[in-house]
Amino acid sequence: MTGKVYLVGSGPGDPELLTVKARRLLEEADVVLHDKLPGPEIIELVPEARREDVGKRAGGEWTPQEYTNRRLVELANEGKTVVRLKGGDPFVFGRGGEEMEHLAANEIPFEYVPGITAGIAGPGAAGIPVTHRDHNSSVSFVTGHEDPEKDESAVDWGALAATGGTLVVYMGVGKLPEYTRALRDAGMDPDTPVALIERATWPDQRVAVGTLDTIVAVRDEMEIAPPAITVIGEVAATRERVVEFMEGR
Ligand code: SAH
């Protein structure tokens, strides 16, 4: 009997933000394949004997995607109930799409379990709504770190600047200098508010705020490191008006 694979989103990191379904599946699964992104609190909910880390290995090397794909099929073919646990939502910059296609190509039954993506929950946890009637009517989710093998940037920063909407950048710590410059070059106001939310909803969440002009210096000063989400736009200034009264993590 073939098992089944659940592609499960963990949400941004606070275990209470797991869906009820994700929580149940973590308890019931024979094996949980995960990387570091769900955060230590969620990973530790799963007994060590039932988890496999397919994230960064000692020495800084990534487990190849092919290995993860192969392992999912192998475990399902052994009849196992497998949870492929991903930070945020599996289908937002998480390679969940590729894994799903691989499962289907190998005739493995699977189910998708959405999670709250960091691009919404991260800004929100810092008091920044990604949309706000007074400020914008669109929001774009973008990767700041593309596949290094791509020759040309598939992200058109000029076109994004022209939307006038909020920009939310995933994997955008390292390339912050490049894309903030590209946005300024495209005519975006250098005083546009920008925030970086590091380890959003984790116990040690930190928030850095600045403008398109200053945020790189703030990042360096605070030594902001991944995982962190970048939010660019007038909405980022909301934080200072509410943070005093904002409770929770
Ligand atoms: N599937 C995930 C995104 C994976 S890409 C999701 O839907 O959230 C990895 C990037 O997600 C990180 O580089 C960071 O930009 C963002 N991210 C994920 N979890 C985060 C968190 N708790 N705090 C801040 N950023 C986070």
- State which of 93, 113, 133 marks the end of a domain: 113
Residue 109 shares a structural domain with residue 124: no
For the sheet with 51-53, list strands across it: 51-53, 31-34, 81-86, 4-9, 110-113
Distance 37 CA to ligand 1 centre (A): 7
Distance 1 CA to ligand 1 centre (A): 35
Annotated active-site residue in 4, 171, 175, 222: 171
The finding on whether 227 has its CB within 6 A of some atom of ligand 1 is: yes
CATH of the domain at 203: 3.30.950.10
Ligand 1 atom, smallest distance to 89 CA: 7
User: Do 207 and 200 meet the contact criterion of CB atoms below 8 Å apart?
Assistant: no
The finding on whether 35 has its CB within 6 A of some atom of ligand 1 is: no
Count other C-beta atoms under 10 Å from residue 216's C-beta: 16
The finding on whether 89 has its CB within 6 A of some atom of ligand 1 is: yes
- State which of 113, 136, 151 marks the end of a domain: 113
Q: Classify burial at 106, counting beta carbons within 10 Å of its beta carbon; exposed 0-12, middle 13-18, buried 19 or more.
A: middle
Annotated active-site residue in 35, 86, 89, 100: 35
CA angle 165, 98, 68 (to 5 degrees): 125
Mind listing the pLDDT tens digit for each residue in 181-209? 999 999 999 999 999 999 999 999 999 99
Ligand 1 atom, smallest distance to 39 CA: 22
Active site residue 21: no
Residue type, 16: E
Query: d(Cα 148, Cα 45) in Å, to the nearest integer?
Result: 34
Residue 27 backbone dihedrals phi, psi, to 5 degrees: -75, -35
pLDDT for residue 58? 58
Residue 177 shares a structural domain with residue 84: no
- State which of 85, 113, 141 marks the end of a domain: 113
pLDDT for residue 149? 59
Half-sphere exposure of 108 toward its Cβ, with a 13 Å CA cutoff?
29
Residue 122 shares a structural domain with residue 237: yes
As for how many domains the chain has, the answer is 2
pLDDT for residue 147? 59
Ligand 1 atom, smallest distance to 200 CA: 23
Active site residue 89: no
Residue 134 shares a structural domain with residue 185: yes
Residue spans of the chain under pLDDT 50: none
Distance 77 CA to ligand 1 centre (A): 31
Residue 152 shares a structural domain with residue 109: no
User: Do 233 and 192 meet the contact criterion of CB atoms below 8 Å apart?
Assistant: yes
Residue 126 shares a structural domain with residue 240: yes
User: Do 209 and 191 meet the contact criterion of CB atoms below 8 Å apart?
Assistant: no
Query: d(Cα 240, Cα 1) in Å, to the nearest integer?
Result: 56
The finding on whether 14 has its CB within 6 A of some atom of ligand 1 is: no
Q: What is the dihedral of CA 36, 41, 43, 48, to 10 degrees?
A: 120
Distance 65 CA to ligand 1 centre (A): 18
Residue type, 157: W
CA 123, distance to chain mean position in Å, is: 12
pLDDT for residue 248? 84
pTM of the model as a whole = 0.96
pLDDT for residue 150? 66
For residue 202, the enclosing domain spans: 118-245
The finding on whether 15 has its CB within 6 A of some atom of ligand 1 is: no
Query: d(Cα 143, Cα 215) in Å, to the nearest integer?
Result: 18
Annotated active-site residue in 30, 36, 56, 189: 56
Whose structure tokens read 């007994």? 47
Q: How far is CA 240 from CA 208, 217, 243, in A?
A: 12, 19, 6
pLDDT for residue 126? 98
pLDDT for residue 148? 54
3-state secondary structure of 215: helix
Task: Please tell me what DSSP assigns to residue 64.
Answer: P
CATH of the domain at 73: 3.40.1010.10
Active site residue 56: yes
Query: d(Cα 221, Cα 63) in Å, to the nearest integer?
Result: 32
